[in-house]
Amino acid sequence: MATVFDAATDGIIPSTRVCRVHLFRHAEVLGASERLCRGHLDVDLSDRGRGQLQAAAERWPGPYDAVFTSDLKRCLQLAQALGDPRTTPLLREQDMGRWEGRTWAALTAEDPAGTTAYWDDYVNAKPPGGESFGDAAARVVAWWSATEATLPGNAEIAIVTHIGSIRALLCAWMGMPVSEGLRWAPGYATHTEVLLADAGAVIVAAGERAR
Residue 180: CB atoms within 10 A of its CB come to 13
- Average the pLDDT over 161-168 and give the result: 98
CA–CA distance, 91 with 48 (Å, rounded to integer)? 24
Please name the residues in contact with 70: beta carbons below 8 A apart, sequence gap of 6 or more.
26, 76, 87, 88, 89, 91, 92, 93, 160, 161, 162, 165
Confidence category of residue 152, pLDDT binned at 50, 70, 90: confident
pLDDT for res 8: 61
Structure confidence by residue, pLDDT tens digits, 177-190:
999 999 999 999 99
- Average the pLDDT over 70-82 and give the result: 97
Which of 164, 209, 163 has its CA nearest to residue 48?
A: 209
Which of 103, 122, 93 has its CA nearest to residue 181?
A: 122
Mean model confidence pLDDT for the chain:
92
Which pTM does this prediction carry? 0.90
pLDDT for res 1: 40
Residue 162, pLDDT above cutoff 80: yes
Q: What percentage of the chain carries pLDDT values higher than 70?
A: 92
Structure confidence by residue, pLDDT tens digits, 79-127:
999 999 999 999 999 999 999 999 999 999 999 999 999 999 999 999 9
Establish whether 26 is a catalytic residue: yes
Which candidate in 22, 28, 93, 191 is catalytic? 93
Structure confidence by residue, pLDDT tens digits, 3-42:
455 666 655 555 567 999 999 999 999 999 888 999 999 9
Establish whether 22 is a catalytic residue: no
DSSP string, 129-172: TS--HHHHHHHHHHHHHHHHTTSPTT-EEEEEE-HHHHHHHHHH
- In the three-class reduction of DSSP (H, G, I as helix; E, B as strand; rest coil), residue 15 is classed as coil
Confidence category of residue 198, pLDDT binned at 50, 70, 90: confident
CA–CA distance, 66 with 59 (Å, rounded to integer)? 17
The answer as to CATH 3.40.50.1240 being correct for domain 15-95+131-209 is: yes
Could you tell me whether strands 18-25 and 190-197 are parallel, antiparallel, or unpaired per DSSP bridges? antiparallel
Q: Could you tell me the residue ranges of all domains in the chain?
A: 15-95+131-209
Q: What percentage of the chain carries pLDDT values higher than 90?
A: 85
Which candidate in 22, 26, 162, 191 is catalytic? 26
80-104 burial: b if 16+ Cβ within 10 Å, else e = bbbbebebeebbbbbbbeebbeeee
